[in-house]
Protein backbone atom coordinates (compact mmCIF):
# COMPACT_ATOMS: atom_id res chain seq x y z
CA UNK A 1 0.00 0.00 0.00
CA UNK A 2 1.25 3.52 -0.76
CA UNK A 3 0.05 7.08 -0.56
CA UNK A 4 -2.36 8.17 -3.33
CA UNK A 5 -0.77 9.13 -6.63
CA UNK A 6 0.54 12.68 -7.07
CA UNK A 7 1.07 13.18 -3.35
CA UNK A 8 4.43 14.31 -2.00
CA UNK A 9 5.16 12.85 1.38
CA UNK A 10 8.21 13.32 3.56
CA UNK A 11 9.24 11.85 6.87
CA UNK A 12 11.02 14.02 9.42
CA UNK A 13 12.95 12.43 12.28
CA UNK A 14 13.97 15.05 14.89
CA UNK A 15 17.13 13.78 16.60
CA UNK A 16 19.23 16.21 18.59
CA UNK A 17 22.54 15.20 20.10
CA UNK A 18 22.25 16.66 23.58
CA UNK A 19 20.07 14.13 25.39
CA UNK A 20 20.82 14.23 29.11
CA UNK A 21 18.82 11.53 30.88
CA UNK A 22 20.40 8.92 28.60
CA UNK A 23 23.57 10.46 27.26
CA UNK A 24 23.98 10.16 23.46
CA UNK A 25 20.70 8.24 23.35
CA UNK A 26 19.94 8.69 19.65
CA UNK A 27 23.31 7.33 18.52
CA UNK A 28 23.64 4.66 21.22
CA UNK A 29 23.49 1.01 20.16
CA UNK A 30 20.10 -0.59 20.70
CA UNK A 31 20.71 -4.34 20.55
CA UNK A 32 23.81 -3.69 18.48
CA UNK A 33 22.38 -1.09 16.09
CA UNK A 34 22.27 2.68 16.73
CA UNK A 35 18.82 3.78 17.87
CA UNK A 36 18.43 6.32 15.08
CA UNK A 37 19.41 3.72 12.47
CA UNK A 38 16.72 1.28 13.61
CA UNK A 39 14.05 3.96 13.26
CA UNK A 40 15.30 5.11 9.87
CA UNK A 41 15.15 1.51 8.63
CA UNK A 42 11.54 1.22 9.76
CA UNK A 43 10.56 4.45 8.02
CA UNK A 44 12.33 3.51 4.79
CA UNK A 45 10.79 0.04 4.82
CA UNK A 46 7.30 1.57 4.67
CA UNK A 47 8.12 2.77 1.12
CA UNK A 48 5.87 5.80 1.58
CA UNK A 49 8.19 8.77 1.36
CA UNK A 50 9.82 10.86 -1.31
CA UNK A 51 12.33 11.99 1.31
CA UNK A 52 13.28 10.74 4.77
CA UNK A 53 14.98 13.66 6.49
CA UNK A 54 16.74 13.78 9.85
CA UNK A 55 16.78 17.14 11.62
CA UNK A 56 19.82 17.19 13.89
CA UNK A 57 22.50 19.45 15.32
CA UNK A 58 24.92 16.55 15.83
CA UNK A 59 27.63 15.34 13.43
CA UNK A 60 27.62 11.73 14.62
CA UNK A 61 23.86 11.44 14.26
CA UNK A 62 24.09 13.04 10.83
CA UNK A 63 26.74 10.56 9.68
CA UNK A 64 24.81 7.56 11.02
CA UNK A 65 21.62 8.82 9.38
CA UNK A 66 23.19 9.28 5.96
CA UNK A 67 24.79 5.85 6.14
CA UNK A 68 21.37 4.36 6.93
CA UNK A 69 19.82 5.97 3.85
CA UNK A 70 18.26 9.15 5.23
CA UNK A 71 18.89 12.71 4.07
CA UNK A 72 20.48 15.31 6.34
CA UNK A 73 20.40 18.39 4.10
CA UNK A 74 20.66 21.03 6.82
CA UNK A 75 21.92 21.57 10.37
CA UNK A 76 19.28 22.24 12.98
CA UNK A 77 19.78 25.73 14.50
CA UNK A 78 20.98 25.84 18.11
CA UNK A 79 17.78 27.50 19.33
CA UNK A 80 15.82 24.44 18.17
CA UNK A 81 18.20 21.93 19.80
CA UNK A 82 17.78 22.75 23.49
CA UNK A 83 16.03 20.75 26.22
CA UNK A 84 13.23 23.30 26.21
CA UNK A 85 12.64 23.50 22.46
CA UNK A 86 9.18 22.14 21.55
CA UNK A 87 8.67 19.90 18.56
CA UNK A 88 6.44 22.15 16.43
CA UNK A 89 9.03 24.87 15.60
CA UNK A 90 11.58 22.14 14.78
CA UNK A 91 9.19 20.59 12.27
CA UNK A 92 8.13 23.90 10.74
CA UNK A 93 11.83 24.72 10.25
CA UNK A 94 12.42 21.30 8.67
CA UNK A 95 9.48 21.69 6.29
CA UNK A 96 10.71 25.11 5.18
CA UNK A 97 14.22 23.76 4.61
CA UNK A 98 13.03 20.73 2.66
CA UNK A 99 10.82 22.83 0.41
CA UNK A 100 13.66 25.30 -0.20
CA UNK A 101 16.54 22.86 -0.66
CA UNK A 102 14.70 20.33 -2.82
CA UNK A 103 12.37 22.80 -4.53
CA UNK A 104 9.35 20.67 -3.70
CA UNK A 105 5.95 21.21 -2.25
CA UNK A 106 4.83 18.89 0.53
CA UNK A 107 1.39 17.35 0.85
CA UNK A 108 1.98 15.17 3.91
CA UNK A 109 4.54 15.07 6.71
CA UNK A 110 5.16 12.13 9.00
CA UNK A 111 7.13 12.99 12.11
CA UNK A 112 8.71 9.94 13.73
CA UNK A 113 10.69 10.19 16.95
CA UNK A 114 14.10 8.49 16.88
CA UNK A 115 13.25 6.29 19.88
CA UNK A 116 10.20 4.78 18.13
CA UNK A 117 12.03 1.47 17.75
CA UNK A 118 8.89 -0.58 18.48
CA UNK A 119 7.07 1.01 15.55
CA UNK A 120 6.55 -1.12 12.43
CA UNK A 121 6.35 -0.13 8.74
CA UNK A 122 2.81 -1.49 8.74
CA UNK A 123 1.78 1.04 11.39
CA UNK A 124 2.93 3.89 9.15
CA UNK A 125 1.17 2.43 6.11
CA UNK A 126 -2.15 1.91 7.88
CA UNK A 127 -2.03 5.37 9.48
CA UNK A 128 -1.30 6.93 6.08
CA UNK A 129 -4.37 5.28 4.61
CA UNK A 130 -6.44 6.59 7.50
CA UNK A 131 -5.15 10.13 7.01
CA UNK A 132 -5.99 10.32 3.31
CA UNK A 133 -9.25 8.36 3.39
CA UNK A 134 -10.83 10.59 6.01
CA UNK A 135 -9.47 13.92 4.73
CA UNK A 136 -8.19 14.70 8.22
CA UNK A 137 -5.52 17.16 9.34
CA UNK A 138 -3.53 14.58 11.29
CA UNK A 139 -3.36 11.01 12.52
CA UNK A 140 -1.45 10.47 15.75
CA UNK A 141 -0.39 7.29 17.48
CA UNK A 142 -2.40 6.60 20.63
CA UNK A 143 -2.63 4.07 23.44
CA UNK A 144 -5.74 3.26 25.42
CA UNK A 145 -5.49 4.00 29.13
CA UNK A 146 -5.36 0.64 30.95
CA UNK A 147 -7.88 1.80 33.55
CA UNK A 148 -10.77 4.23 33.65
CA UNK A 149 -9.29 7.67 34.35
CA UNK A 150 -12.48 8.72 36.16
CA UNK A 151 -11.53 6.24 38.91
CA UNK A 152 -8.11 7.84 39.40
CA UNK A 153 -6.67 8.43 42.85
CA UNK A 154 -4.34 11.21 43.96
CA UNK A 155 -2.34 12.00 47.08
CA UNK A 156 -3.56 15.18 48.76
CA UNK A 157 -1.51 17.79 50.62
CA UNK A 158 -1.86 15.85 53.86
CA UNK A 159 -0.38 12.75 52.23
CA UNK A 160 -3.60 10.76 52.08
CA UNK A 161 -5.25 9.17 49.07
CA UNK A 162 -8.45 10.64 47.71
CA UNK A 163 -10.46 10.17 44.52
CA UNK A 164 -9.84 12.69 41.77
CA UNK A 165 -13.49 12.43 40.72
CA UNK A 166 -15.40 11.18 43.79
CA UNK A 167 -18.70 11.24 41.90
CA UNK A 168 -17.50 8.09 40.12
CA UNK A 169 -16.70 6.16 43.27
CA UNK A 170 -19.44 3.62 42.58
CA UNK A 171 -19.50 3.86 38.77
CA UNK A 172 -18.61 0.59 37.13
CA UNK A 173 -15.56 0.85 34.92
CA UNK A 174 -17.44 -0.78 32.03
CA UNK A 175 -19.93 2.09 32.17
CA UNK A 176 -17.23 4.73 31.71
CA UNK A 177 -15.91 5.93 28.33
CA UNK A 178 -12.63 4.78 26.84
CA UNK A 179 -9.80 7.34 26.88
CA UNK A 180 -6.54 7.36 24.96
CA UNK A 181 -3.26 9.25 25.28
CA UNK A 182 -0.61 10.38 22.82
CA UNK A 183 1.80 7.47 22.38
CA UNK A 184 4.55 9.78 21.06
CA UNK A 185 5.60 7.43 18.25
CA UNK A 186 4.56 9.24 15.07
CA UNK A 187 2.41 12.08 13.73
CA UNK A 188 1.06 11.79 10.17
CA UNK A 189 -0.06 15.29 9.22
CA UNK A 190 -0.67 17.93 6.64
CA UNK A 191 2.04 20.61 6.84
CA UNK A 192 -0.29 23.28 8.24
CA UNK A 193 -0.83 21.18 11.36
CA UNK A 194 2.57 22.18 12.76
CA UNK A 195 2.20 25.92 12.27
CA UNK A 196 -1.22 25.66 13.89
CA UNK A 197 0.38 23.87 16.84
CA UNK A 198 2.73 26.84 17.30
CA UNK A 199 -0.24 29.20 17.30
CA UNK A 200 -1.85 27.12 20.04
CA UNK A 201 -4.76 25.76 18.02
CA UNK A 202 -6.33 22.94 20.09
CA UNK A 203 -7.09 19.44 18.86
CA UNK A 204 -10.81 20.24 19.08
CA UNK A 205 -10.37 22.82 16.29
CA UNK A 206 -8.48 20.40 14.05
CA UNK A 207 -9.44 17.12 12.40
CA UNK A 208 -7.12 14.78 14.33
CA UNK A 209 -7.66 11.04 14.15
CA UNK A 210 -6.42 8.38 16.56
CA UNK A 211 -4.29 5.48 15.36
CA UNK A 212 -4.43 2.87 18.15
CA UNK A 213 -1.20 1.03 18.90
CA UNK A 214 -0.42 -1.93 21.10
CA UNK A 215 0.45 -0.98 24.66
CA UNK A 216 3.84 -2.66 24.38
CA UNK A 217 4.82 -0.34 21.50
CA UNK A 218 4.73 2.87 23.52
CA UNK A 219 7.84 2.82 25.67
CA UNK A 220 9.09 6.32 26.47
CA UNK A 221 12.84 5.64 26.58
CA UNK A 222 14.09 8.14 29.15
CA UNK A 223 15.91 5.98 31.71
CA UNK A 224 18.18 2.94 31.73
CA UNK A 225 15.24 0.84 32.91
CA UNK A 226 13.18 2.10 29.95
CA UNK A 227 16.02 1.18 27.61
CA UNK A 228 16.32 -2.37 28.96
CA UNK A 229 12.55 -2.80 28.90
CA UNK A 230 12.35 -1.65 25.28
CA UNK A 231 15.10 -4.06 24.25
CA UNK A 232 13.28 -6.97 25.90
CA UNK A 233 10.02 -6.03 24.17
CA UNK A 234 11.82 -5.69 20.84
CA UNK A 235 13.30 -9.17 21.17
CA UNK A 236 10.04 -10.67 22.43
CA UNK A 237 8.05 -9.32 19.49
CA UNK A 238 10.75 -10.08 16.90
CA UNK A 239 10.53 -6.62 15.34
CA UNK A 240 12.60 -6.19 12.19
HEC string for 196-208: HHHCCCCHHHCCE
* pLDDT score, position 7: 66
- Describe the strand order of the beta sheet including 108-112 as a list of residue ranges: 51-55, 9-14, 108-112, 180-189, 138-144, 208-212
* Torsion sign over Cα 82, 181, 188, 232: positive
Q: What is the pLDDT of residue 4?
A: 52
CA pair distance 197, 213, nearest whole angstrom = 23
**Gap between the Cα atoms of 180 and 209, Å rounded:** 11
| Architecture of domain 9-235 in this structure | Alpha-Beta Complex (3.90)
Q: Where are the domains of the chain?
A: 9-235
Q: What is the pLDDT of residue 1?
A: 46
Average pLDDT of the residues of the chain = 92
Instruction: Give 10-residue mean pLDDT values along the chain (240 residues).
Output: 66 92 94 97 97 97 98 96 92 97 95 96 95 88 94 96 95 93 95 91 86 91 95 82
- 55 DSSP β-pair partners: 14
Q: Nearest CA to 176 among 154, 152, 205?
A: 152
Statement: the pTM of the whole predicted model exceeds 0.85: yes
Q: Where are the alpha helices (DSSP H) in the chain?
A: 35-45, 59-67, 87-102, 121-133, 192-198, 224-236
Amino acid sequence: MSMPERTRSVAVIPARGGSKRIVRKNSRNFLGVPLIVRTIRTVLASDLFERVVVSTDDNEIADLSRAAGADVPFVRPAEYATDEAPTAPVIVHAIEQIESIYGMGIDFVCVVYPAAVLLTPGDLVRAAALLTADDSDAVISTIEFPSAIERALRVNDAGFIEMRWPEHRFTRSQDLPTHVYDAGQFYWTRPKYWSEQISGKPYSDQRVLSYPMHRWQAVDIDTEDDWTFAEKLFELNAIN
